[in-house]
Amino acid sequence: QVQLVQSGAEVKKPGASVKISCKTYGDIFTKNYVSWVRQAPGQGPEWLATIDPLDVISKVAQNFQGRLTVSRDTSTSTLYIELSGLRHHDTAVYYCARGYCGRESCYKFDQWGQGTLITVS
């Protein structure tokens, strides 16, 4: 069954780093692009990054370049994002989602993880 299951909530201090996992089931890891999106309390979603199934191309939002790292573990079909230099406004629910993408564009985020709450305090 196609599914994305994320790691649990964490509380971090300002300046620390956090690494969030997204374990994939079904063919997602080998066939689909996966994007990361976050949502601050009371705000709309914000796209962070997209990684391709071959781990050749990853796109990261310019605002996060240098602070956000995306990675994959083939042995466990798990994707990760790591955000460093955490600030209070990084407090948000972080989601992974399967999408359909070309070289520059994506659409149809049709499978989402349950979300991971990261609190910076």
| Rounded least distance, CB 64 to other proteins, Å | 9
By C-beta, is 3 or 77 nearer to other proteins?
Answer: 3
| Rounded least distance, CB 73 to other proteins, Å | 22
By C-beta, is 61 or 84 nearer to other proteins?
Answer: 61
By C-beta, is 15 or 114 nearer to other proteins?
Answer: 114
CB-neighbour burial class of residue 44 (10 A; exposed 0-12, middle 13-18, buried 19+): exposed
What spatial distance separates the first Cα and last Cα of the chain, rounded to whole Å? 37
Structure tokens at 24: 């994939």
Residues that bind other proteins (CB under 8 A): 35, 37, 44-47, 50, 59, 61-63, 95, 97, 99, 101, 104-110, 112-115
CB-neighbour burial class of residue 45 (10 A; exposed 0-12, middle 13-18, buried 19+): middle
Task: With beta carbons less than 8 A apart as the criterion, state whether 118 and 92 touch.
Answer: yes
| Rounded least distance, CB 105 to other proteins, Å | 5
By C-beta, is 16 or 57 nearer to other proteins?
Answer: 57
